[in-house]
Structure 1
Amino acid sequence: MNTPEPAAQLAAVLQPVLGPLIDRFGDAGHELALVGGPVRDALRGTLDLRRSTDLDMTTSARPEQVLELIDGYAEAVWTTGIEFGTVALTHHGFQIEITTYRADRYDRVSRNPEVVFGESITDDLARRDFTVNAMAISLIDGAFYDPYGGIRDLEAGVLRTPSAPEESFADDPLRIFRLVRFIAQLGFTADPATAAAAMAMSGELARITPERLQGELSRMLLTPRPRPGLEAMVELGIADVVLPELAALRMEIDEHHQHKDVYAHSLTVLDQAIDLEPRLGLDGPDLVTRLAALLHDIGKPPTRRHEDGGGVSFHHHEVVGAKMVRKRLRALRYSKQVVEDVAQLTFLHLRFHGFSEGNWTDSAVRRYVTDAGDLLSRLHVLVRSDCTTRNRRRAARLSAAYDELEARIADIQAAEDLRAVRPDIDGNEIMRILDVPAGPVVGRAWKHLKELRLDRGPLSHDEAVAELKAWAAREGIN
């Protein structure tokens, strides 16, 4: 097939970096082709090689031959995937994976493939997840390969498997999850037969390791607009396996017990949090903020109570939700830091609403900042995003109240270091004044003095000593 101009331009742009590698493979009589995402994105006109530095290649060379051919070209080499035919390397800022043509068979129980090296690039492309990822451009002679109609589906904005979807998903059920990830990432829709197979086979995702599921979920959440993928995830039953708490937010709302659609609300909060991410001052999207925005209300379904008069309550849903967040994110093998950060944001997200009329004492401000700690900027984004009311007056009032809170925080921060609130007397001095050894008494005294510091602000040394002695007397110490 004639090479489309964008793909040819991509090959030309990469020539200065890949030229020596291409020459080595060509001189040795091996085929080498660029495949997958870079080709797809070049054809869409969305490839940015300043940010997208991952290049996937496929070759006729066997892994041991690849290792010989990259010797002296690669700056670093990884062989962790060599049993599957993959050698990874870096060169001039690019991360390159070179995989030998494969024509795998799967046992469909563990999903482990019986690695079978293929003889042609067409065989290799047949095992790709979707047709839009099953296109390749030869780096040796510039030939373009699109045996399964990838360009056609790319132009139509459709995700379809190269082979029958039932066969493709049975070989690797993770492709079911990739379907909704690419819906989010590319803004495409699923081919009806592919969507039907994904829905029928979503239970097969239970065979996939939590780490791989977490990887796809994170990639989807970090796309510019993950909402369409999350909606498809729920509609196709994928959430029932991977993130059942999200599907559970679709609580029935009847005419007698009105309350906000928690599922739609959570997705809107996520949209709004993404819009506010620039406030965080980060270089890119923030997984913790996005997870917290999506999951902050997962404690509502188990805490919903119908009240007299037709009202609905969700008492302590932030406490229940924080526990549920920890359980789910641990099950998905997220890092301890991510788990605790998302859980803490979930726990704190209602704190502002107890003071949304602006009656914040200095003590309340100190506690808000201290409890949030390093998460304060993320908490600001989450709380602001949590306002999804259509009542413009109420929305404006809540926004103004939060503006006032942030101003109060800035004022008190200027006078006191709220990021490091500590008692006015340290542990060593507590032991000296009370004449006690290190132990639980010192910890209790320290905690008492910190509470005073939060309530009253900085104390003079004499005031702190007097408060410590008064506390010790009440506690029967000395």
Structure 2
Amino acid sequence: MQQRALAALDAIATVTDELGSRFAAAGEQIALVGGPVRDAMLGRLHNDLDFTTSARPDTTERLLKGWADATWDMGRAFGTIGARKGDYQVEITTYRSEEYDAASRKPTVDFGDTLAGDLGRRDFTVNSMAVTLPGNTVEDPFGGVVDLAHGLLRTPGRPEDSFSDDPLRMMRAARFAAQLGFAVDPAVVTAMTGMAGRIEIVSAERVRDELVKLVCAPYPRRGLTLLVETGLADHVLPELPALALERDEHHRHKDVYEHTLMVLEQSIELEDRLPGGGPDFVSRFAALMHDVGKPRTRRFQDDGTVTFHHHDVVGAKMTRRRMKALRFSNDEIAAVTRLVELHLRFHGYGAGEWTDSAVRRYVRDAGDQLERLHVLTRADCTTRNRRKAERLRRTYNDLETRIERLAEEEELASVRPDLDGNQIMEILGLPPGREVGEAYRHLLELRMDHGPMSEERARAALLEWWARRQGTPEGT
């Protein structure tokens, strides 16, 4: 594995060799560290490179002059100087030795004197390896190479100390499990379980960022399961563990939690249908949240059946509240909540009885989320009954075919009334105002019901509506 890392490092030798020589000539130590070393050992290397050094920030900045294409010092207070060299982005941070305030995750930054001390403060052993420069010597004081080979996440020291210093590391454990597909050391799981409440001191934005990375990782089920089993999800995404409903005595409904994880995995498999491919956070998070309204809407009937009436509407409201609490953007919130609210709409399609009007409304209500709604609706079928699953697939194929046909005939993506606002004002003799908006919406509903109309028919329909609204005979 070390040989694989050294082979991968050959690809960035123009960066590492030159930096190593510059710092060594100045009497300073420098090493590639953390994620880049881990990824190199896994046979992959990216253009973002992290280094640690004995040099103080002013010295680092001086040594980069004449070598880097550009430098920046936004992280100077934390000992970090950034630079760009060709296609590579570099961050060089002075050895650190930190102490944390127990009431927050903000460290008091003290510069350290040794590479081993710097590595010992990092989150996991697989991120606590370094390659010293020049010479490309691997430093691994905490057994990260062995843990990497075994696919294990373990902390350099006691996990309780690590998570007490920085509770966000508990979220990072789940995220790395999802990204790397690794198992988590039992001692780490125990510490996460006992200290889950400490995550409350972390800002919503930092929690959100880790959650996004987890959901967009190759194995999100691993990370989400860890969040639920340790109790972290109770603090950061309580809607997820709430889905683990007890089955009723007749076992007549699915385990909603397991169903949700299956829908998430199936939506990932369908991401190649999306214009941008994947990973697609909005699509995945909608799959994760689509049934969160079920616990609040569950009702047991006299015959032993279970209903979840309006869980789509309730779930959309719950999703909006959670995403606002996690400081997601308004656009992301709008997209995910629309998908949650619409995820049941297809099931009214039956065996294809919808009118063209209903299909037009389906497209209109989905708006720019139509392709994601296709993915979510298809992924939501987790039945083991092959005949039923195939029937649902054929029915949705039929709906998509009808949408495509109508889209070609009527430009569904940009449905507008057959008269615009200026025409409405001219025909009715109205100034801009509420009544023009009402007329516009009436014509839009007619467009949805009957498809495109000629300008003459639209004008007649508008005058008929206006006459009824005025309560006077048409033409008077």
- The two structures have a TM-score, normalised by structure 2, of 0.97
Aligned to 2:111, the other structure's residue is in SS state coil
Letter in 1 for 2:5: A
2:287 matched to 1:293?
A: yes
2:292 maps to a residue whose letter is I
Task: Give the Å deviation of 1:24.
Answer: 1.9
Deviates more, 1:354-363 or 1:436-445: 354-363
Which whole-Å CA distance do the structure 1 matches of 2:381 and 2:72 have between them?
47
Residue 306 (structure 1) aligned with residue 286 (structure 2): no
- Partners of 2:87 and 2:295 in 1: CA distance: 47
Mapping of 1:48-59 within 5 angstroms?
Answer: 49=45, 52-59=46-53
* Residue 25 (structure 1) shift: 1.6
Which of 442, 459, 468 is matched with 2:462 structurally? 468
Tell me what 2:2 maps to.
4
CA distance in 2, matches of 1:245, 1:395: 27
Give the alignment of 1:172-211 within 5 angstroms: 172-211=166-205
Amino acid at match of 2:176: F
Q: CA deviation at 1:158?
A: 1.4
Alpha-carbon contact 1:32-1:60 (below 8 Å) kept: yes
Letter in 1 for 2:68: A
Aligned counterparts of 1:292 and 1:74: Cα–Cα separation in 2? 43
Deviation at 1:254, TM superposition (A): 2.4
Question: 1:35 is aligned with what amino acid?
Answer: V
1:256 match: secondary structure: coil
Say if 2:35 is the partner of 1:41. no
Q: Give the structure 2 partner of residue 241 of structure 1.
A: 235
Flag structure 2 segments of 5+ consecutive residues without an equivalent.
none
Q: Is the 8 A contact 2:31 2:53 kept in 1?
A: yes
> Residue type matched to 1:387 in 2?
C
What do residues 168-201 of structure 1 show as CA deviations (whole Å, max 9, x unaligned)?
Answer: 0000000111111111111111111111001100
The Cα shift of 1:399 comes to: 0.2
What aligned pairs does 1:230-379 form with structure 2 within 5 A after superposition?
230-256=224-250, 258-282=252-276, 284-379=278-373
Q: Which deviates further from its counterpart, 89-98 or 126-135?
A: 89-98
CA contact (8 A) 2:271 2:277 kept: no
| SS of corresponding position for 1:115 | strand
Choose the corresponding residue for 1:169, options 163, 167, 182. Answer: 163
| Cα-to-partner distance string for 1:355-402 (whole Å, 9 max, x where unaligned) | 132112111111111111111111111100000000000000000001
Structure 1 unaligned runs (5+)? none
- 2:100 is matched with which residue? 106
CA RMSD of aligned residues (A): 1.4
Stretch of structure 1 that moved more, 435-444 or 87-96: 87-96
Question: 1:24 aligns to what?
Answer: 22
After TM superposition, give the deviation of residue 12 of structure 1 in Å: 1.9
CA deviations over 1:28-59 (Å, ceiling 9, x no partner):
121111111121122223x1x4xx32211111
Identify the residue that residue 121 of structure 1 maps to in structure 2. 115
Q: In structure 1, what is the Cα distance between the partners aligned to 2:372 and 2:166? A: 36
Following TM superposition, by how much is the alpha carbon of 1:281 offset from its aligned partner in structure 2, in angstroms?
Answer: 3.2
Q: Does residue 144 of structure 1 match 2:150?
A: no
Q: 1:386 aligns with which of 367, 370, 380?
A: 380
Of 437, 450, 453, the match for 1:443: 437
Q: Could you tell which deviates more after superposition, 353-362 or 236-245?
A: 353-362
Correspondences of 1:65-76 after superposition (within 5 Å): 65-76=59-70
Asked if structure 2 preserves the Cα contact closer than 8 Å seen for 1:31 and 1:140, the reply is: no
- For residues 210-261 of structure 1, the C-alpha deviation after alignment (integer angstroms, 9 at most, x for no partner) is 1100110011111112111111110011100100001111111122362111
Task: Report the Cα offset of residue 477 of structure 1.
Answer: 7.4
Aligned residue type for 2:18: P
Q: CA deviation at 1:139?
A: 2.2
Cα distance in 2 for residues equivalent to 1:292 and 1:76:
40
